[in-house]
Structure 1
Amino acid sequence: MKKTVIADISLLFVAFVWGVTFVIVQNAIQFIPPHLFNGIRFLIATLCLITFLRRDNRIFTKRLIVSGVFLGFFLFLGYAFQTVGLLYTTSSKAGFITGLSVMAVPLLAMVILKERPRPIIFLSCLLGTTGLYLLTLGDMSNMNIGDLFVLLCAVAFALQIIFTDLFSKHFQALPLTIIQLFTVSILSFASSWLFEEIEAINYLIILNPNILFAFMITSIFATAAAFYIQTTYQRYTSATKVALIFTMEPVFAAITAYLFNEERLVFSGVIGCLFIFIAMIITELPIRRKEI
Structure 2
Amino acid sequence: MNRQLSGILALFVVTMVWGTTFPAMKELTANFSPVWIILVRFALAAVLLAPFLWKARRDDVWSGVILGFLLFFCFIFQVEGLTLTTSNRNAFICGLNVLVVPLLGVIGGRLPERRIVLALLLAIGGLTALCWDGGGWGRGDTLALLSALTFGAYVKVMEVRTQRATRLLAVTASQITTVAVFAALWLFTREVPRAADDVANYWAYLGQTTGRYWINFAYLGVVATAAIISLQSWGQSRTTANEAAVMYAFEPGAAAVFGFFWLGEELTARGWLGAALLISGMIVSQWNSESRPAGALAPE
TM-score, normalisation: structure 2: 0.89
Kept in 2, the 8 Å contact 1:87–1:146? The answer is: yes
Q: 1:168 to 1:131 in 2, by over 3 A?
A: same
Match of 2:81 in 1: 85
Match of 1:94 in 2: 90
Kept in 2, the 8 Å contact 1:101–1:154? The answer is: yes
Q: 1:140 to 1:197 in 2, by over 3 A?
A: farther
Superposed CA deviations along residues 171-206 of structure 1, whole A, max 9, x for unmatched, are 121110111111111111111223324633502111
Match of 1:218 in 2: 220
Equivalent position SS for 1:285: coil
Kept in 2, the 8 Å contact 1:26–1:86? The answer is: yes
Distance in 2 between residues matched to 1:194 and 1:140, nearest whole Å: 36
Equivalent runs, 1:1-292 vs 2, <5 Å = 1-51=1-51, 53=52, 55=54, 57=55, 59-61=56-58, 63-112=59-108, 115-137=110-132, 139-171=133-165, 172-197=167-192, 199=199, 200-201=202-203, 202=205, 203-208=207-212, 211-287=213-289
Distance in 2 between residues matched to 1:143 and 1:270, nearest whole Å: 25
Equivalent position SS for 1:219: helix
Name structure 1 gaps, 5 residues minimum: none
Distance in 1 between residues matched to 2:285 and 2:112, nearest whole Å: 11
Distance in 1 between residues matched to 2:274 and 2:237, nearest whole Å: 29
Name structure 2 gaps, 5 residues minimum: 194-198, 292-300
Distance in 2 between residues matched to 1:66 and 1:116, nearest whole Å: 30
Identity across aligned pairs (percent)?
28
Distance in 2 between residues matched to 1:256 and 1:140, nearest whole Å: 22
Distance in 1 between residues matched to 2:62 and 2:48, nearest whole Å: 21
Query: How many matched pairs?
Result: 281
Alpha-carbon distance, 1:90 to partner: 1.3
Distance in 2 between residues matched to 1:9 and 1:243, nearest whole Å: 13
TM-score, normalisation: structure 1: 0.91
Kept in 2, the 8 Å contact 1:169–1:235? The answer is: yes
Alpha-carbon distance, 1:264 to partner: 2.8
Alpha-carbon distance, 1:262 to partner: 2.6
Q: Give 4+ residue runs of structure 1 displaced > 3 Å after superposition.
A: none
Tell me which moved more, 95-104 or 27-36: 27-36
Distance in 1 between residues matched to 2:171 and 2:192, nearest whole Å: 32
